[in-house]
Chain A
Amino acid sequence: MSAVVRFFPAGDRALLVELGDGIDPETNRRVRALLQLLDRIPVAGVRDVIPSYRSLLVDYDPAVVDRGELEARLRERLGRLDQASLPPPRMVEIPTLYGGDMGPDLEFVARHHGLTPEEVVKLHAGGEYLVYLVGFSPGFPFLGGLPRELATPRLDNPRLRVPAGSVAIGGEQTGVYPFPTAGGWRLIGRTPLQLFDPGRSEPFLLAPGDLVRFVPISREEFHRLQQDAVSKGLGSGD
């Protein structure tokens, strides 16, 4: 069964293709299937594609491909979504040092839900999360699958600087900050992994469709992994 696909012009150089109405793994899978078909057999004039929860934004040059032609090419691929062969999802483990100075809001999250910090870690690390999309800022994963009992309101006053690698909860979402930025999510831990490093052969750690698991680590492991990243020239280890 497939929902009705809707096309909306997003200006004269982008076409928004909506494949469903809500946030669910099946709609997102169809988004990725269409993306794969576009990657495999590119349409001339398509310059970039942004997959998100339930839609693709197709960025095109109307001097190369006209809107009717583009829509026809997209409809062809939409008719063959079943032929996309999405690889089995990669499971990416994110080693995380929970609590303390690395996760200053862990205590708050625990108190908020009447849990102990250990129970919060167990629940958070026990979850399996789907990367619905990567975006907003470079390498930032939007993860689905946060256990309901961990949903926590954001800070009233966002921090001016959230350290890179911070693992956080914002409302019903959880994620990892790739860069030091301002942010209003509750920080419960930190990973020594770099989500984005332009010097790596694969600059981005996560891609849409990946599955993520957070693995609790000790402070010693954190520092060892951070050292590894630095000695391999994989990054600054910030």
Chain B
Amino acid sequence: MGKVRIISAGGLSTVQDLGRYGYQRFGLSPAGAVDDFSLRVGNLLLGNDPGAAALEMTGLGPTAEFLEDTLFALTGGDLGPSLDGVDLPLWEVLFATRGSVLSFAGLRRGLRGYLSVAGGFDVPEVLGSRSTDLTAGLGGWEGRALRSGDTLTTFPAVRPSGIVGRRLHPSRLPHFASPYTLRVVLGPQQAFFTAEAVETFLLSSYEVTPQLDRVGIKFKGPTLAHAGSTDLISEGNPLGALQVPKGGLPILLLASRHTVGGYPKVAVVTGSDLYQAGQMKPGDIVTFQAVTLQEAHQLWRSYIASFGKLRAILG
């Protein structure tokens, strides 16, 4: 069992797993890691369940002390990590001796880093998940972002030793670099837009604006004309939806989105590509590429199968 004490908080750092499902009918957003790829890989490297709770760190990482010897991994965006002043690699199982201090120099690539520990973080399961829901103030560490002085404990490691240095093969590393391409399935409200608007959406580049958080990303770029009314009777919001309010600029809905909404959705980002949105920062450029539903399902099956393969390789 390990303990990690936060010395200074940095940017927004929250405990996240793969999300809280079953309560969207009451308005609870699933939350969960915005970049689920990086969460899963960090856990698999450590021999954890892919959905074990990790620390999602945004932009500026925290400074933290390991109070016990701990196996850990850093995945996702590159926040410039070092341990007692020595630079650390991402996507690799690392070992911290008791008393060593993890710190981050600043953002080099992507936006969100994940700190996974062997065993996963031991926070109470609330309504079936350890994810922090900042809106409802529940889950994770006391329902809030971490602050200096908080001390997270970890579950006992599943694979306590002999895995230091295990890493993801470089060919499997995601790039997390602008320009991004996100594949989408058009709809469910494609009919609310003119044919030209759908064409514009697929042929243009969009820029990520500073209006970005765990709820969603607002883009700027060519506006999309609605064919008629923009009023939709409020309905469930799927993860990855690109909703287009009256102004005509798309907003991508992420893990902590509102459960229902009344804006027409021109398209939804595929489950296989959405994790990349978790690494986008203001100024990044994105294009959207339409695929058929069948193609998207094939992509999703490969995406999920890749974690199974990784698990098998790591043994």
Which of A22, A52, A67 lies in contact with B236, CB distance below 8 A? A52
Give the Cβ gap from A33 to chain B, nearest Cβ, in Å.
14
| Contact flags B258-286 to A (C-beta < 8 A → 1, else 0) | 11110001011111100000000000000
* Bound complex: CA A139 to CA B27 (Å): 6
Pair B24/A135 contact, Cβ less than 8 Å? yes
Closest residue on chain B to residue A16 by CB atoms: B188
- Interface residue B301 (Cβ < 8 Å from any Cβ of A): yes
Pair A11/B259 contact, Cβ less than 8 Å? no
Pair B136/A67 contact, Cβ less than 8 Å? no
Q: In residues 116-173 of chain B, which contact A (Cβ within 8 Å)? A: 126-127, 133, 135-136, 138
Give the Cβ gap from A205 to chain B, nearest Cβ, in Å.
10
Pair A208/B25 contact, Cβ less than 8 Å? yes
Give the Cβ gap from B71 to chain A, nearest Cβ, in Å.
29
- Interface residue B187 (Cβ < 8 Å from any Cβ of A): yes
Closest residue on chain A to residue B233 by CB atoms: A53
Given known A-B contacts A136-B260, A203-B127, A12 and B22 have beta carbons under 8 A apart: no
Interface size on B, residues (CB 8 A): 48
| Contact flags A175-205 to B (C-beta < 8 A → 1, else 0) | 0000100000000000000001010000110
What A residues does B267 contact at CB under 8 A? 11
What A residues does B237 contact at CB under 8 A? 50, 57
Given known A-B contacts A66-B297, A133-B260, A10 and B27 have beta carbons under 8 A apart: no
Pair A135/B126 contact, Cβ less than 8 Å? no
- Interface residue A154 (Cβ < 8 Å from any Cβ of B): no
- Interface residue A216 (Cβ < 8 Å from any Cβ of B): no
Given known A-B contacts A13-B271, A138-B27, A22 and B233 have beta carbons under 8 A apart: yes
Pair B21/A136 contact, Cβ less than 8 Å? no
- Interface residue A137 (Cβ < 8 Å from any Cβ of B): yes
| Contact flags B177-212 to A (C-beta < 8 A → 1, else 0) | 000000011011100000000000000000000000
What A residues does B30 contact at CB under 8 A? 48
What B residues does A134 contact at CB under 8 A? 25-27
- Interface residue A207 (Cβ < 8 Å from any Cβ of B): yes
Pair A50/B260 contact, Cβ less than 8 Å? yes
What B residues does A142 contact at CB under 8 A? 234
Pair B233/A12 contact, Cβ less than 8 Å? no
| Contact flags A137-150 to B (C-beta < 8 A → 1, else 0) | 11110100000000
| Contact flags A82-116 to B (C-beta < 8 A → 1, else 0) | 00000000000000000000000000000000000
Which of B25, B187, B300 lies in contact with A63, CB distance below 8 A? B300
Pair A136/B235 contact, Cβ less than 8 Å? no
Pair A14/B238 contact, Cβ less than 8 Å? yes
Given known A-B contacts A52-B236, A63-B304, A10 and B258 have beta carbons under 8 A apart: no
Given known A-B contacts A12-B270, A138-B27, A53 and B21 have beta carbons under 8 A apart: no
Pair B188/A140 contact, Cβ less than 8 Å? no
Closest residue on chain A to residue B261 by CB atoms: A136
What B residues does A30 contact at CB under 8 A? none
- Interface residue A23 (Cβ < 8 Å from any Cβ of B): yes
Pair A136/B241 contact, Cβ less than 8 Å? no
- Interface residue B296 (Cβ < 8 Å from any Cβ of A): yes
Which of B22, B236, B268, B301 lies in contact with A55, CB distance below 8 A? B236
Which of B25, B138, B234, B300 lies in contact with A12, CB distance below 8 A? B300
What B residues does A208 contact at CB under 8 A? 25
- Interface residue A167 (Cβ < 8 Å from any Cβ of B): no
Pair A52/B234 contact, Cβ less than 8 Å? yes
Given known A-B contacts A10-B238, A50-B25, A63-B301, A198 and B126 have beta carbons under 8 A apart: yes
Closest residue on chain A to residue B269 by CB atoms: A11
Which of A14, A54, A62 lies in contact with B301, CB distance below 8 A? A62
What A residues does B29 contact at CB under 8 A? 138
3 A-B pairs with least C-beta separation: A57-B236, A11-B268, A50-B236
15 A/B residue pairs, CB under 8 Å, sorted by A:
A9-B187, A11-B185, A11-B267, A50-B237, A59-B238, A59-B239, A62-B301, A63-B304, A67-B297, A135-B260, A136-B259, A138-B135, A179-B136, A196-B136, A198-B127
A: residues with CB less than 8 A from B are 8-14, 16, 22-23, 35, 47-57, 59, 62-63, 66-67, 133-140, 142, 179, 196, 198, 203-204, 207-208
